[in-house]
Structure 1
Amino acid sequence: MSEFPQATRDRYYADGVWDIDTIADLVARNAAAAPEAVAFHAGDATLTWREYDDLATRLAGAYALAGWQPGDLLAVLLTGGALTHVAYLAAQKAGLVTVGLSPRAGDAEITHLLRHTGAGALVTRSTHRGRPGEQIARAVGAPRHLVLDLVGSELLLAGDGVALPVPGLTEAAVAIEGRGLGPDELFFLNSTSGTTGLPKCVRQTMNVRKVFGPLAADAGAFGPDEVVLSALPAPYAFGLWSAHVVPAQYRYPTVLAAEFDPAETLRLVERHRVTVLAAVTSQFIMMLNSPEFAEYDLSSLRVLFTGGERVPYRRAMEFEERTGCAVLQFYGSNEAGPISLTRVDDGQQKRLSTAGRPVPGTRVRLFTPEGVPVESGPGQIATNGPGCTAGYFRDEAANRILFRPDGWLLTGDLGQLDEDGFLSVTGRTADFIIRGGHNVSALVVEEAVGGHPRVTQVAVVGMPDEVLGERVCAFVATRDGVELTLDDLRKHLADGGVSKVNWPERLVHLPVLPMGAGGKVDKPALRRLV
Structure 2
Amino acid sequence: MSLFDTEQAAEFRRRGWWSDETLSEAVAANAARVPGGIAYTSAELAITWSQFDQRADELARRLAGAGVTPGSRVAVCMSDGIEIHVVFVAIERLGATIVGIGAKAGVREVAHLVNQSQCQALITLARHDGKDAGTLATDLAERGIRLTHLVLELDPDSVRLRRAAADDTELWEVEPAALPDVAAHPDALFLVNSTSGTTGLPKAVMHTQNRWHYFHTQAVANGALERGEVMLSIVPAPFGFGLWTSHVTPIKLAAQTVVMPKFSPREAARLIQEHRVTVLCCVSTQFIMMLADSSLEEFDMSSLRVVFTGGEAVPYAQAVEFEERTGATILQFYGSNETGLLSGTNLNDSAEKRLRTAGRIAPEMNVRLYEGSTEVTSSGRGQPACFGPALSLGYLDDEDANTKLFTDDGWMLMGDICEIDDEGYLSVVGRISEFVVRGGKNISLAVVEADALTHPAIRHAAAVAMPDPVLGERVCLFAELHTGAELDLDTLLAHLTAQGVSRELFPERLEITPELPRSSGAKVAKGELRTLIAEKVSAELAAR
Q: From the superposition, tell whether residues 471 and 90 of structure 1 become closer, same or farther in structure 2 (CA, over 3 Å).
A: same
CA gap 1:509/1:6 in 2 versus in 1, 3 angstroms? farther
Aligned to 1:242: 245
Q: Aligned runs of 1:53-452 on 2, under 5 Å? A: 53-141=53-141, 142-160=146-164, 161-166=171-176, 175-193=178-196, 196-431=199-434
Output one character per residue of 1:42-99: Cα deviation in whole Å (capped at 9) or x when no partner.
Answer: 1342110011011111111222244322110111111111111000000000111111
Q: 1:470 aligns with which of 508, 526, 532?
A: 526
Q: Is the 8 A contact 1:458 1:474 kept in 2?
A: no
1:470 aligned partner, one-letter code: K
2: CA distance, partners of 1:247 / 1:86: 13
The alignment partner of 1:211 has SS state of helix
CA 1:352–1:510 in structure 2 vs 1: closer, same or farther (change >3 Å)?
farther
> In 1, are the aligned partners of 2:85 and 2:247 still within 8 Å (CA)?
yes
| Residue aligned with 1:254, SS | strand
1:507 aligns with 2:537: yes
Task: Quickly say closer, same or farther: Cα 1:128–1:463, change in 2 above 3 A.
Answer: closer
Match of 2:17 in 1: 17
CA distance in 1 between counterparts of 2:426 and 2:245 reads 23
Shift of 1:330: 1.1
The residue that corresponds to 1:436 in the other structure is none
Alpha-carbon distance between aligned partners in 2 of 1:394 and 1:385, rounded to the nearest angstrom: 22
CA distance in 2, matches of 1:320, 1:196: 39
The whole-number CA distance in structure 1 between the counterparts of 2:96 and 2:15 is 29
Structure 1 residue 11: deviation in Å?
A: 3.2
Aligned-residue offset at 1:108: 0.8
Question: What secondary structure is seen at the aligned counterpart in 1 of 2:526?
Answer: strand
For 2:338, what is the secondary structure of its paired residue? coil
Equivalent position SS for 1:361: helix
TM superposition score normalised by structure 2 = 0.80
Q: 1:348 to 1:406 in 2, by over 3 A?
A: same
Give the CA deviation at 1:30. Answer: 0.6
Question: Offset of 1:402 from its aligned partner?
Answer: 0.4
Matched residue SS, 1:47 = strand
Secondary structure of residue in 1 paired with 2:537: strand
* Deviation of the 1:369 alpha carbon: 2.4
Cα gap change, 1:66 to 1:504, in 2 (>3 Å): closer
Inter-partner Cα distance in structure 2 for 1:377 and 1:473: 31
Q: Is the Cα–Cα contact under 8 Å of residues 19 and 213 in structure 2 kept in the other structure?
A: no
Aligned partner letter, 2:241: F
Q: State the AA in 1 paired with 2:527.
A: R
Deviations 1:293-321 (Å, cap 9, x if unpaired)? 32111111111000101111111111111
CA contact (8 A) 1:303 1:326 kept: yes
CA distance in 1, matches of 2:153, 2:99: 18
Q: CA deviation at 1:193?
A: 3.5
Q: Structure 1's 510 and 322: CA in aligned 2 closer, same or farther, altered over 3 A?
A: farther
For the 8 Å contact 2:228–2:254, the answer to whether it is kept is no
Q: Name the CA distance, whole Å, in 1 between partners of 2:283 and 2:198.
A: 17
CA change 1:463–1:150 in 2 (3 A) is: closer
Asked if residue 459 in structure 1 is aligned to residue 473 in structure 2, the reply is: yes
User: Unaligned regions of 5+ residues in structure 1, if any?
Assistant: 168-174, 434-441, 476-485, 487-502, 512-530
The 3-state SS of whatever aligns with 1:274 is coil
Q: Residues 467 and 81 (structure 1 numbering): CA distance in 2 closer, same or farther, change over 3 Å?
A: closer
3-state DSSP of counterpart to 2:347: coil
Aligned in 2, Cα 1:54/1:382: closer, same or farther, shift over 3 Å? same
Identical aligned pairs, as a percentage?
40
- Deviation of 1:158 after TM superposition, in Å, equals 1.1
Q: CA RMSD in A?
A: 2.7
Distance in 2 of aligned mates of 1:85 and 1:432: 30
Equivalent-residue separation in structure 2 for 1:184 and 1:178 (angstroms)? 19
- SS of 1:471's equivalent in the other structure is helix
Contact 2:285 2:470 in 1 (8 A): no
Task: Give a deviation string over 1:120-139, Cα, whole Å, max 9, x none.
Answer: 12111111242111111220
In the TM superposition, residue 360 of structure 1 has moved relative to its aligned partner by 4.5
CA distance in 1, matches of 2:379, 2:93: 45
Structure 1 counterpart SS, 2:374 = coil
What is the Cα deviation at residue 457 of structure 1? Answer: 4.4
CA change 1:342–1:404 in 2 (3 A) is same
Offset at residue 405 of structure 1 (A) = 1.1
The one-character-per-residue Cα deviations of 1:197-223 (angstroms, maximum 9, x if unpaired) are 300111011101111112111111123
Q: C-alpha separation between the residues in 1 aligned to 2:108 and 2:304?
A: 39
* Cα deviation, residue 474, structure 1: 5.8
Give secondary structure in 1 for the equivalent of 2:393: coil
The 8 Å contact of residues 222 and 346 in structure 2, kept in 1 or not, is answered as: yes
Say whether the 8 Å CA contact 1:31–1:53 is kept in structure 2. Answer: yes
Deviation at 1:510, TM superposition (A): 8.5
**Whole-Å separation in 2 of the counterparts to 1:342 and 1:113:** 34
Taking the aligned partners of 2:389 and 2:540, their CA distance within structure 1 comes to: 41
The amino acid of 1:507's aligned partner reads V
Relative to structure 1, is the Cα distance of residues 461 and 60 closer, same or farther in structure 2, using a 3 angstrom cutoff?
closer
8 Å contact 1:463–1:473 — kept in the other structure? Answer: no
**Partner Cα separation in structure 1 for residue 282 and residue 324 of structure 2:** 17
Counterpart secondary structure, 2:367: strand
* Maintained 8 Å contact 2:70/2:180: no
State the number of aligned residues.
Answer: 463
Long gaps (5+) in structure 2: 165-170, 437-444, 446-463, 479-515, 520-524
Quick check: 2:222–2:345 contact (8 Å CA) kept in 1?
yes
Change (3 A) 1:215 1:38: same
